[in-house]
A = this chain, B = another copy of it.
Amino acid sequence: MVRQTRQRAAVADALAGLDDFRSAQQIHDLLRGDGIEIGLATVYRTLAMLASEGVVDSIRTPDGEQVYRRCAVTGHHHHLVCRVCGRAVEIDGPGVETWAGRVAAEQGFSDVEHTLELTGVCAQCRGADSGLSPAPK
């Protein structure tokens, strides 16, 4: 059975207060910074569990790091992430879903899955495109 622990609650809480993707290590630092004692391995384990339950989304940054986010939307969807500040917007692409299925079928593939992520520069960051601090980290 799955037990309720102080650590798991802490990770969930941390995710609840964020609106962009964070790595396991960042979450760990956040919690430690708040004086919460938790091991790095536990953060990794908890995030992996939440992700497999579908409670949080996880994607890989271009440099291969896994990052997690608790999304407003549940179920399958994609993201549009600001390359500057990290802000993320939920996207659902019905068009993409059907396109993927069709293309796969045409090639004789079945059980198709897909990954799709968009990146760009958000309005706020575009305006202040100097070295200024964009949006809160």
Q: Which residues of A contact B (CB under 8 A)?
A: 60, 64, 66, 80, 82-83, 89, 91, 93, 95-96, 99-100, 103-104, 107-123, 126
Cβ of A115 and Cβ of B112 under 8 Å apart? no
Cβ of A110 and Cβ of B121 under 8 Å apart? yes
Closest to A59 in B: B115
Q: In angstroms, how far is the closest chain B Cβ from the Cβ of A95?
A: 5
Majority secondary structure of chain A interface residues (helix, strand, loop or mixed): strand
Closest to A91 in B: B103
Contacting residue for A109 out of B66, B93, B111, B120, CB 8 A: B120
Given A109-B122, A111-B121, 15 extra CB contacts under 8 A: A60-B64, A64-B64, A80-B104, A80-B112, A93-B99, A95-B95, A107-B122, A109-B120, A112-B119, A113-B118, A114-B116, A114-B118, A114-B119, A115-B115, A115-B117
